[in-house]
Structure 1
Amino acid sequence: MPPAPTDADWMAAAVALSQRGRPTAAPNPNVGCLIVQRGRVVARGWTQPGGRPHAEAMALAAAGDAARGATAYVSLEPCAHASPRGPCCTDALIAAGVARVVVAAIDPDPRTDGQGTARLRAAGIAVGTGVLADAARAAMAPWWTRQTRGAPFVTLKLATSLDGCIALADGSSRWITGERARAHGHLERARHEAILVGRGTLLADAPRLDVRLPGLEARSPKKLLLTRGGTAPEGWTAVASPESVAGVDSLLVEGGARAASAFLAADRVDRLLLYRAPILIGGGKAALGDIGLADLAAAHGRWSLVDSRLLGSDRLDVYERIRKE
């Protein structure tokens, strides 16, 4: 017989579930919850659009009486504060009669921050914490970044040739990458609340910036325009600088070189998607301009490779900014 699933196995499933709420759970965190009774999942939940119901509330409602004596696996500490929008998840777990709660990450929100687990223990419920905490924080990176740093989580997308060009010298840029890479780019759009380009890209390409994947069309993000002029077309929102982006947890910066360079110079990029096509352009437009680097030594130790894969004939490398919290 195969070995029984461990707490880490169950939590991995809860963290995966949490991704279903990204980015629609905003402004709340996207959380996943499993209710397990005698080695069997009896219910699952994830934060619903707009932030309610919470993952625990959704799972407990589905479990009903089967939650009594069960173990709940939650990717973020259950909330401990009252809200007019819905029940306190800590109290809901206590009322449901669960025997054990396993938590990945402790909630940094000062209204909970350890109080949820303390209340569960005070009610006689066994509590475990820190199981796959890093994975849980990564899954809710946009909310976590806003909560802890007061800024949106920014992903920069660059689609280049092997020699680092994003277009021919005359600006022609459709299409550098192939169909699979472009589909992956649309999936990334669906995972972000907002998408941004510079005015040069707007004028040159008139981009739609929507999601063109079957079933995900409604996930098209808000459109932002980085512009010093302060005006934007209908349906767009103008932002004057990388620091002035507000009101969203996650932002995808998609073009062009000036916008990308501005966000890198301001150290506002948390994640880098580098799509590279197996072509050489030579003499084309560079992916980046000046990013304020004065010393080559300062360029090292800033980025960590977290994923690399082939998308058809194109390669995707994903890097995350190394930050000392």
Structure 2
Amino acid sequence: MAESASLATEADRRFMAAAIRLSLWHQGLTGENPSVGALVVRPQAEGGTIVGRGVTALSGRPHAELQALREAGDAARGATVYATLEPCSHIGKAPPCADALVAAGVARVVIATLDPDKRVAGRGVSILEKAGIEVVTGCLEAEARRAMAGFLSLKGRGRPFLTLKLAVSPDGMIGRRGAGQVSITGDIARRAVQMMRVEHEAIMVGVNTVAEDDPFLTVRLAGLEKRSPTRIILDPFARTPPVARLFAEAARHPVLILASEKASRRQADDLREKGAVVQTVVSDYRGRFDPREVLRVLGIIGLKSVLLEGGAETARRFVDAGLVDRISLFVGTSTFGQDGIASPVTETAVPPGFEIVGSGRYGDDRLIEYERID
């Protein structure tokens, strides 16, 4: 049997932390596969020397372990391998990573978390142990699962991991009625939001946000523009204005419009001509979407992580449905007063089942992050 995380050494935790950081390099760029990090480490008195590194390649293959073994070469024999996810054991487009580790002659494999894929689910560990390789599982498991939250959600629940991002004034407002886009936070916090977009495969808003704010919904950080996520618009009646600015970059950054069967065919065709993909989603008699159906459709498409940016009613529906997994709440410094649009989440009104997992300052603004624990 694989040894538990309690037997992991301090060196194991240090190298696994490095493997988790490595896994983030291709987060959101590996298709339906997770972005895994792997290290091959030669044992030494000082704790070990890294001789091979690998991260899941763009589009999902080759896997991290194969790349790390290739870089290590003969130095892999007798070494310890650190993998953020259980090495695969099924035969697909490439040989199983578990078999490759056995063939390379590694002495020990430290794994952060087991694979929820039914084709693997402990079989990778079994292959290694039958070959006489020492296996330790659960090393920095919580940290690795957070890094792979999208993959684990898609495999385990059939839907993407959903992060709700809100910028809220001290009096609990996310905007001012009839004012369009209103800056609640400063430049530093807004750049942090840009990085959140980089870390997610898609960004989602309601059609009213597009009509009123006319956002681009892209990444506007120098050098990271290509990392802009798929833009998803919840638009039951295909009312997205064809002149919306987000269509200017539709050829480079996809626009996915979720419309109901009640949408005008002509309007839907107009949006397709602008470069959007229009996907029909079942709605109720009023044309409203069930948030569960929205995420089910996005899961079928293969999206692992979605950043929900509003507006207020769209955010409230997903919160009330219990489908939000993480809340990133930015709190600014300027109050809005009676003309403000109330936020569905504030510091003093957090939905049940969430706990604070982190906080920080971005200039004068604060960020509080909550995650679902139930």
Same fold (TM over 0.5): yes
User: Whole-Å Cα distance in 2 between the matches of residues 190 and 147 of structure 1?
Assistant: 22
User: Whole-Å Cα distance in 1 between the matches of residues 59 and 185 of structure 2?
Assistant: 34
Matched, 1:70 2:69: no
The more displaced of 181-190 and 17-26 is 17-26
Shift, 1:289, TM fit:
5.5
Match of 1:162, SS state, is coil
Match of 1:121 among 129, 132, 148: 129
Matched, 1:37 2:42: yes
Superposed, 1:54-133 pairs within 5 Å as 54-84=63-93, 86-133=94-141
Structure 2 equivalent of residue 302 of structure 1? 353
Structure 2 equivalent of residue 294 of structure 1? none
Q: Which runs of 5+ in 1 are unaligned?
A: 291-297
Could you list the per-position Cα deviations for residues 217-269 of structure 1 after superposition, in whole angstroms to 9, with x for gaps in the alignment?
Answer: 11101111112214655542222532223121110111211111121122111
Structure 1 equivalent of residue 29 of structure 2? 24
Shift, 1:285, TM fit:
2.9
Match of 1:136, SS state, is helix
Runs (4+) of structure 1 moved beyond 6 Å?
Answer: none
Structure 2 equivalent of residue 15 of structure 1? 20
Shift, 1:26, TM fit:
2.7
Superposed, 1:1-325 pairs within 5 Å as 6-38=11-43, 39-84=48-93, 86-230=94-238, 232=240, 235=250, 236-239=255-258, 240=281, 241=289, 242-243=291-292, 244-245=294-295, 246=298, 247=301, 248-288=303-343, 301-323=352-374
Structure-1-length-normalised TM-score: 0.91
Match of 1:283, SS state, is helix
Q: Which runs of 5+ in 2 are unaligned?
A: 1-8, 259-280, 282-288
Could you list the per-position Cα deviations for residues 171-214 of structure 1 after superposition, in whole angstroms to 9, with x for gaps in the alignment?
Answer: 34332110110000000001111111111110111110000112
What one-letter code is carried by the residue in structure 2 that aligns with 1:48?
A
Shift, 1:30, TM fit:
1.5
8 Å Cα contact 1:301-1:322 kept in structure 2: no
Shift, 1:288, TM fit:
3.4
The more displaced of 96-105 and 298-307 is 298-307
8 Å Cα contact 2:319-2:351 kept in structure 1: no
Could you list the per-position Cα deviations for residues 123-170 of structure 1 after superposition, in whole angstroms to 9, with x for gaps in the alignment?
Answer: 111111111111111110000011111111001110111111112233
77 and 126 in structure 1: CA distance in 2 versus 1, 3 angstrom threshold: same
Structure 1 equivalent of residue 278 of structure 2? none
8 Å Cα contact 1:78-1:116 kept in structure 2: yes
Structure 1 equivalent of residue 267 of structure 2? none
299 and 279 in structure 1: CA distance in 2 versus 1, 3 angstrom threshold: closer
Structure 2 equivalent of residue 295 of structure 1? none
User: Whole-Å Cα distance in 2 between the matches of residues 131 and 25 of structure 1?
Assistant: 23
8 Å Cα contact 1:165-1:284 kept in structure 2: no
8 Å Cα contact 1:158-1:287 kept in structure 2: no
Could you list the per-position Cα deviations for residues 257-315 of structure 1 after superposition, in whole angstroms to 9, with x for gaps in the alignment?
Answer: 1111121122111010101111111113334369xxxxxxx976411101100000000
Match of 1:127, SS state, is strand
Structure-2-length-normalised TM-score: 0.80
What one-letter code is carried by the residue in structure 2 that aligns with 1:37?
R
Could you list the per-position Cα deviations for residues 83-130 of structure 1 after superposition, in whole angstroms to 9, with x for gaps in the alignment?
Answer: 12x221011111111111111101111111111011011111111111
User: Whole-Å Cα distance in 1 between the matches of residues 324 and 35 of structure 2?
Assistant: 21
Match of 1:157, SS state, is strand
What one-letter code is carried by the residue in structure 2 that aligns with 1:288?
S
User: Whole-Å Cα distance in 2 between the matches of residues 299 and 12 of structure 1?
Assistant: 31
172 and 138 in structure 1: CA distance in 2 versus 1, 3 angstrom threshold: same
Match of 2:188, SS state, is helix
Shift, 1:62, TM fit:
1.0
8 Å Cα contact 1:77-1:117 kept in structure 2: yes
The alignment of Structure 1 onto Structure 2 pairs a total of residues equal to: 313
